[in-house]
Amino acid sequence: MFQGIAVGRIWGIEIKLNSSLLIIALLVTAIAGTSILPHTAPGFTAPVYLMAGGLIAILFIASVLWHELAHSLIAIRYKIPVVQIVLYVFGGVAQIARDPDRPIQEFWIALAGPISSLILAIGFGVIARLGGLAGASASYLSTVNASLVIFNLLPGFPLDGGRVLRSILWAIQHSYKRATRQASRVGQGVAILLALSGIGLILAGYGLFNGVWLLLIALFLYSTASALYRGSKSGPLPLETSVRRVMRFNVPVIAPNLPLAMLAWKYMDQAHDQAFPVLEGDYLVGMITAAEVDPIPRLEWGKVRAVDAMRKRADLRIVAPDDELSAALAAMDALRLDHAPVIEAGRLVGMLNRRDIVYRT
């Protein structure tokens, strides 16, 4: 699914077209050009209808890209890298480098797609008022985008609605793994309902094509939800467990006088989302992350030292290995931090990363 032909970049995100996209392009062209438009805008020749159908197919693919770009834009706003966007027969996938760290991030990333499709549905609906062939084409595109909104909001993980559901369960239960497992189960249920609907359409004679298409979508959703369920099947760690179970040991430490250029070259370019403790001897004086480095002009990195850019110790939350994860997470939340140094008997012994907590609880 993630294979395809690269056709360009938008906001630095590689855009790929999977060969299966040709199937949906031909189907939309055929349906619009031979069935929809001749009835809604009579009076034109068959070649004109097919040309209009081809344009509708292009605009439909552009609508799917718009939907995925909306997901990507919010992910980038939360500093989550987007690897690529792939358009294929069932729609599109914005492949992000990692899952969000907080429920609210997943909620808005997931909801951005349906909101963007709703905007398109309204926009094409306004153009449809023009009437004629252009109006009929816009009306069809408005209906298609409205259908995308409804379909994507089904609570079938990994659809957008399923991700919204997971974010809500995650926020309520404070467990990413449990929420993933539950949302995946719901996704399997939605897939079964879609499959039954497809079988019902076929048996009732309402269209072999629509029924088979629903069955294919159901199969795809069920297999994806099942894979995600299996991945989350191992039990989550309780938040009452100790920091020691989740913390990272043997983390790189930074000297206060290290230039940012050297910091980026040796450490940050390979682990842009990590935090690095700054030590003077054995004493922790601060912590530095990409959040402190990125706002500084790159040309200045050779002159600026870690001690000049770091977040000072007084502005950090220090935790101990035997602290409960729930208390450590609450302390990090109070200052909106994603990392905390772990100190035992006055010495730094590791770092606690919000992402490590999220993905294991």
CATH number at residue 344: 3.10.580.10
Is residue 349, in this structure, part of any structural domain at all? yes
> What is the domain extent for residue 23?
5-153
34-86 per-position pLDDT tens digit: 888 998 888 889 999 999 999 999 999 999 999 999 999 999 988 888 888 98
251 and 112 share one domain: no
13-17 and 82-88: which strand pairing?
parallel
**Does a cis peptide bond (omega within 30 degrees of 0) precede residue 158?**
yes
User: CA–CA separation, 12 vs 7, rounded Å?
Assistant: 12
Is residue 120, in this structure, part of any structural domain at all? yes
Is residue 131, in this structure, part of any structural domain at all? yes
User: CA–CA separation, 191 vs 151, rounded Å?
Assistant: 12
251 and 349 share one domain: yes
Of the three residues 93, 123, 153, the one that is the final residue of a domain is: 153
149 and 254 share one domain: no
pLDDT at 66: 95
Is residue 181, in this structure, part of any structural domain at all? no
pLDDT at 355: 79
| Residues sharing a CB contact under 8 Å with residue 203, sequence separation 6 or more, in sequence order | none
Amino acid present at 36: I
Of the three residues 153, 181, 213, the one that is the final residue of a domain is: 153
Is residue 276, in this structure, part of any structural domain at all? yes
Is residue 234, in this structure, part of any structural domain at all? no
SS3 173: helix
28 and 139 share one domain: yes
pLDDT at 233: 63
Domain count, the chain: 2
Which residues of the chain register pLDDT less than 50? Answer: none
The residues that bridge with 9 in the sheet, in sequence order, are 14
Tokens for 6, please give them.
Answer: 């690269």
pLDDT at 271: 74
Is residue 198, in this structure, part of any structural domain at all? no
pTM for the model stands at 0.76
User: CA–CA separation, 259 vs 242, rounded Å?
Assistant: 35
Of the three residues 153, 182, 206, the one that is the final residue of a domain is: 153
Is residue 125, in this structure, part of any structural domain at all? yes
144 and 276 share one domain: no
143 and 254 share one domain: no
User: CB of 113 within 8 A of CB of 153?
Assistant: no
271 and 144 share one domain: no
35 and 148 share one domain: yes
pLDDT at 356: 80
User: CA–CA separation, 37 vs 28, rounded Å?
Assistant: 11
